Amino acid sequence: MAVIRLGAVDYLNARPLVHGLDRRPDLFALRFDAPSKCATLLHEGAIDVGMIPSIEFERGVAPYLIVGGLGIVSEGPVASVALFSARTVAEIRSIAVDTSSRTSTGLLRVLCRESFGIEPEFVPMPPIIDAMLQRCDAALVIGDPALYLDHQAAGLGKIDLGEQWTSLTGLPFVWAFWAGRPGVLPADALTALREARDAGLAASDAIADAYCGPERAALGRAYLRDNIRYVFDERAAAGLRKYYELAEKHGVIDAVRPAVFF
């Protein structure tokens, strides 16, 4: 059997899902990329399974299957997906959006209409906060750059998109999950992915320490413990369905493709 080409997100929040998979060369060839790149690689067929932004399930040319039970999920504050600005929401006319982001950009479009009552211009930019805020009134930043940014020291407000979503809907938000084309994941590979998640949860403090270094270890530990969940359960599925419904309503996607699982 061919080794499965596995594309993971190169952020702290993904590390518990891939814990130990680098020691399974019999099953996986593992690579790390930005979320948007993971999606592009899967759409192009350059990887077999990708940890894709949840919105990209709706954008794939071929129908994908989702690995059941696993995901990057939050309920309430997520800490690592946020809108930063020195202005009030009502004053925001333009937003620089992190080019690493697709799900978060779609969510922000939904929140601008459903929660904030604004219609800003969206300007894709690399996640360099100073440059983003020189160009625009606000900046959407995701992943490690958002988690590590000391917004108070920078004189910025921080609007946590996970917190805003749960406030709007009462539901969790599903940021990403493993997905691939039918037939690419045999039973032993599915088992290995679930075992990696379980081992990663048990080792989350050690993962944060190794990834973040001593200065940020406490931040990383708290983040993995308090902000991120790795179980794609029925409540998470309800949150995903709601996101797709609102994404269709506001033109983020053309139509909703129901989630289908391996």
Q: Are residues 52 and 179 in the same domain?
A: yes
Domain span at residue 155? 81-169
| β-sheet bridge partners, residue 53 | 176
Q: Looking at residue 259, what is its pLDDT?
A: 87
Question: Given the structure tokens 């309430």, which residue do they identify?
Answer: 76
Q: For residue 35, what is the domain's CATH number?
A: 3.40.190.10
Q: Are residues 208 and 241 in the same domain?
A: yes
- DSSP per-residue string spanning 16-68: GGGTTGGG-TTTEEEEEE-HHHHHHHHHHTSSSEEEEEGGGGGT-SSPPEE-T
- The answer to whether 217 and 105 are in contact (CB under 8 A) is no
Q: Are residues 123 and 189 in the same domain?
A: no
Q: Are residues 165 and 92 in the same domain?
A: yes
Q: Are residues 67 and 180 in the same domain?
A: yes
Among 169, 188, 211, the domain-final residue is 169
Number of folded domains that form the chain: 2
Neighbouring CB atoms inside 10 A of 259's CB total 20
Answer yes or no: is 261 within a domain.
no
- DSSP per-residue string spanning 64-130: PEE-TEEEEEESS--SSEEEEESS-GGG--EEEEETT-SHHHHHHHHHIIIII----EEEEE-S-HH
Answer yes or no: is 221 within a domain.
yes
**Residue-level pLDDT, tens digit, the chain, 262 residues:** 689 999 999 999 999 999 999 999 999 999 999 999 999 999 999 999 999 999 999 987 778 999 999 999 999 999 999 999 999 999 999 999 999 889 999 999 999 999 999 999 999 999 999 999 999 999 999 999 999 999 999 999 999 999 999 999 999 999 999 999 999 999 999 999 999 999 999 999 999 999 999 999 999 999 999 999 999 999 999 999 999 999 999 999 999 988 889 9
Q: Are residues 9 and 68 in the same domain?
A: yes
Structure tokens belonging to residue 22: 């680098």
Q: Are residues 99 and 146 in the same domain?
A: yes
Q: How far is the C-alpha of 54 from the C-alpha of 56, rounded, in Å? A: 5
Q: Are residues 66 and 96 in the same domain?
A: no
Q: Are residues 68 and 95 in the same domain?
A: no
Answer yes or no: is 242 within a domain.
yes
Phi-psi group of 20: left, alpha or beta (phi > 0 → left; psi -120 to 50 → alpha; rest → beta): left
Q: Looking at residue 1, what is its pLDDT?
A: 65
Of 75, 128, 138, nearest in space to 105 by CA:
138
Alpha-carbon distances, residue 82 vs 78, 94, 195, 251 (angstroms): 8, 15, 31, 21
Answer yes or no: is 21 within a domain.
yes
Q: How far is the C-alpha of 130 from the C-alpha of 55, rounded, in Å? A: 28
Answer yes or no: is 255 within a domain.
no
SS3 211: helix
Among 129, 151, 169, the domain-final residue is 169
Q: Are residues 150 and 28 in the same domain?
A: no
Q: Are residues 158 and 195 in the same domain?
A: no
Answer yes or no: is 241 within a domain.
yes
Answer yes or no: is 244 within a domain.
yes
Q: Are residues 183 and 202 in the same domain?
A: yes
Answer yes or no: is 162 within a domain.
yes
Among 117, 151, 169, the domain-final residue is 169
